[in-house]
């Protein structure tokens, strides 16, 4: 049994809860316009009861939870740096990496950091381009940005506009980042229902982009039901301005008005109706992908990237409310799916909600080829209860590549950053963590770690409210990963770490 120690003893007994012009990028010269929050991932601000606020303050006084904004962590984690928000004031979102650079999405645009010295990241550029979620990925000299709020046009100067208007735009924007100090907007592709997230399937000449979006409505001209698949964009590297939607493969065929996905309530109370996918993770070395699709988890074959083929599909109508994201282990015989109970805006890491809801689901992949099946093994949830004023639920994470072990780091919003092992898929356990105390003891204010990813020896966490955090893990179980150096990392495009990157390179 491994014991974790914190900088402060916490008994964790808190258990009370109710549950351009044209196509030019605007490099920032003034404060950005506000982006429209997206219901899938937008933490909210709400009042809580006087009893809940009193319980939170009492738990802080007793040492059961950290004080407001207090930083605590296990002894094997070191907090190296926090880089606060600057000109981009919106919600911080996803991260991507390339060489010595980190790319941080924000609902108002994106920010480029030089992380050559991880303890002292420097801002290289900030690009104003409002449009939630601004999920970000990079490949070569191209950066891809998801827009999932209805805009007046595809420029970075657009304003919000109802999705009921045919002229409204949502989709993927493409930037040339060959000059890191001055990214250049070069193309856009409109996609049905926008782009909540996207996933790259890179080839030598082209980059395929799997676009996840959902929630169609008969009143939306560009987002009509049934929306039972994903948009596949083909982007020629030499001519990104020729990017186009190449296919819309149906993943949930069916005769109903919403296709054949999970019907949700009332048949399955508390479960999201499947009207698209939220996030997809691909493992190109194995020609595999895993889709987290609202009410369904799927495993599919991507040997033909324009025509992915579903191998298996699973549901959990007892404990999973919203299938949010997926992570393969290195051997591709396991998948971790996350459940974003409450849409990221609720306090679900408490005794009342319990250990199985708003958690990760660990699945083994058994069988071979087209007969492979996803088999549920266990749930994992952080073992520290959070306050009723803290939005907390499973969110974005990545593998920490270690031979013979399955270890990942993961964001939990105001639950912080957790490092946990699922080598034994039936008995996952936490081995390290980092978190802050609540943003408020009196109000549920959205914040915490949106994405926490391991890259070249360090963990980078994009905190919704605070900024970019840099952590270092010193633990014999993860130390091997420090030897590995990657040239590029988009977490939803999982590399074969031990094939693609020689561990002693550089």
Q: What is the 3-state secondary structure (H, E, C) of 422-451?
A: CCCCCCCEEEEEEEECCCCCCEECCCCEEE
Please give the DSSP secondary-structure letter assigned to residue 225.
S
State the pLDDT confidence band at 401, using cuts at 50, 70 and 90. very high
pLDDT for 22 equals 29
| Residue 214: pLDDT over 90 | yes
Report residue 15 CA to chain centroid gap: 27
State the pLDDT confidence band at 227, using cuts at 50, 70 and 90. very high
pLDDT for 257 equals 78
Tens digit of pLDDT for each residue in 339-360? 999 999 999 999 999 999 999 9
Tens digit of pLDDT for each residue in 181-211? 999 999 999 999 999 999 999 999 999 999 9
Average pLDDT, the chain: 91
Query: Residue 105 pairs with which residues in a beta bridge?
Result: 110
pLDDT for 46 equals 65
pLDDT for 256 equals 76
Predicted structure pTM score:
0.92
| Residue 94: pLDDT over 80 | yes
Burial class (CB in 10 A: 0-12, 13-18, 19+), 244: exposed
Residue 389: partners with Cβ closer than 8 Å, 6 or more residues away: 48, 52, 53, 56, 347, 438, 439, 440, 441, 442, 443, 444, 445
| Residue 430: pLDDT over 90 | yes
Task: Dihedral sign for Cα 343, 347, 350, 354, please.
Answer: negative
| 439-466 mean pLDDT | 97
Beta strands 169-176; 309-314: pairing state? unpaired
| Residue 139: pLDDT over 50 | yes
What are the phi and psi torsion angles at 60 (to 5°)? -65, -45
| Residue 476: pLDDT over 50 | yes
| Least confident interval from 17-31, 290-304, 428-442, 454-468 | 17-31
C-beta of residue 260 within 8 angstroms of C-beta of residue 276? no
Residue 301: partners with Cβ closer than 8 Å, 6 or more residues away: 287, 288, 289, 308, 309, 311, 370
Assigned token pair, 242: 């020729």
Tens digit of pLDDT for each residue in 147-181? 999 999 999 999 999 999 999 999 999 999 999 99
CA atoms within 13 A on the CB side of 452: 28
Please give the DSSP secondary-structure letter assigned to residue 383.
S
The rounded radius of gyration (Å) of the Cα atoms in the chain is: 21
Long-range CB contacts for residues 304-309, cutoff 8 Å, separation at least 24: 305/201, 305/203, 305/208, 305/232, 306/208, 306/232, 306/234, 306/246, 306/247, 306/249, 307/247, 307/249, 308/210, 308/230, 308/249, 308/251
- ∠ CA 9-11-15, nearest 5°, is 145
pLDDT for 502 equals 54
| Residue 21: pLDDT over 70 | no
| Domains of the chain by start residue, with CATH | 26-500 (2.130.10.10)
| Residue 26: pLDDT over 60 | no
| Residue 250: pLDDT over 60 | yes
Tens digit of pLDDT for each residue in 309-329? 999 999 999 999 999 999 999
Please give the DSSP secondary-structure letter assigned to residue 463.
E
Tens digit of pLDDT for each residue in 267-300? 999 999 999 999 999 999 999 999 999 999 999 9
Tens digit of pLDDT for each residue in 35-72? 233 344 554 556 688 888 899 999 999 999 999 999 99
Q: Assess whether the previous peptide bond of 140 is cis (omega < 30° from 0).
A: no
- ∠ CA 100-104-107, nearest 5°, is 165
| Residue 2: pLDDT over 70 | no
| 381-398 mean pLDDT | 97
pLDDT for 122 equals 98
| Residue 241: pLDDT over 70 | yes
pLDDT for 255 equals 80
pLDDT for 498 equals 85
């Amino acid at each position: 049994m491994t014991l974790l120690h914190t900088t402060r003893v916490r008994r964790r007994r808190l258990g009370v809860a109710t549950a351009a012009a044209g196509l030019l990028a605007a490099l920032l010269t003034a404060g950005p316009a506000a982006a429209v929050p997206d219901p899938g991932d937008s933490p909210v601000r709400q009042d809580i009861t006087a009893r809940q606020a009193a319980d939170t303050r009492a738990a802080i006084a007793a040492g059961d939870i950290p004080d407001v904004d207090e930083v605590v962590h296990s002894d094997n984690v070191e907090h190296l740096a926090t880089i606060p928000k600057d000109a981009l004031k919106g919600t911080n979102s996803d991260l991507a990496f390339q060489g010595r650079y980190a790319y941080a999405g924000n609902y108002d645009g994106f920010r480029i950091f030089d992380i050559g010295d991880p303890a002292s990241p420097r801002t290289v550029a900030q690009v104003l381009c409002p449009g939630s979620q601004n999920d970000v990925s990079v490949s070569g000299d191209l950066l891809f940005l998801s827009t999932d709020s209805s805009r007046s046009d595809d420029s970075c100067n657009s304003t919000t506009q109802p999705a009921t208007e045919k002229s409204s735009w949502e989709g993927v924007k493409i930037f040339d980042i060959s000059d890191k100090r001055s990214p250049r907007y070069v193309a856009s592709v409109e996609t049905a229902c926008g782009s909540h997230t996207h996933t790259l399937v890179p080839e030598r000449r082209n980059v395929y982009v799997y676009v996840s979006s959902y929630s169609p409505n008969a009143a939306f001209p560009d987002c009509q039901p049934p929306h039972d698949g994903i948009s596949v964009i083909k982007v020629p590297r030499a001519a990104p301005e020729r990017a186009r939607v190449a296919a819309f493969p149906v993943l949930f065929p069916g005769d109903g008005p919403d296709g054949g996905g999970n019907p949700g309530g009332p048949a399955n109370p508390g479960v999201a109706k499947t009207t698209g996918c939220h996030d997809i993770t691909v493992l190109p070395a194995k020609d595999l992908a895993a889709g987290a699709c609202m009410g369904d988890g799927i495993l599919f074959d991507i040997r033909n990237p324009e025509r992915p083929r579903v191998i298996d599909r699973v549901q959990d109508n007892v404990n999973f409310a919203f299938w949010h994201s997926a992570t393969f282990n290195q051997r591709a015989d396991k998948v971790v799916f996350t459940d974003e109970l409450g849409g990221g805006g609720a306090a679900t890491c408490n005794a009342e909600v319990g250990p199985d809801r708003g958690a990760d689901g660990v699945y083994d992949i058994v069988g071979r080829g087209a007969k492979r099946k996803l088999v549920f093994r266990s749930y994992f949830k952080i073992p520290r209860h959070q306050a009723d004023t803290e939005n907390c639920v499973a969110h974005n994470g990545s593998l920490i590549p270690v031979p013979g072990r399955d270890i990942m780091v993961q964001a939990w919003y105001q639950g912080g950053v957790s490092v946990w092992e699922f080598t034994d898929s039936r008995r996952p356990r936490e081995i390290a963590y980092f978190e802050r105390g609540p943003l408020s003891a009196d109000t549920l204010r959205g914040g915490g770690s949106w994405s926490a990813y391991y890259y070249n020896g360090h963990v980078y966490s994009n905190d919704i409210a605070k900024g970019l955090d840099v952590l270092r893990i010193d633990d014999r179980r993860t130390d091997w990963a420090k030897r590995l150096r990657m040239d590029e990392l988009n977490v939803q495009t999982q590399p074969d770490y031990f094939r693609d990157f020689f561990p002693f390179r550089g």
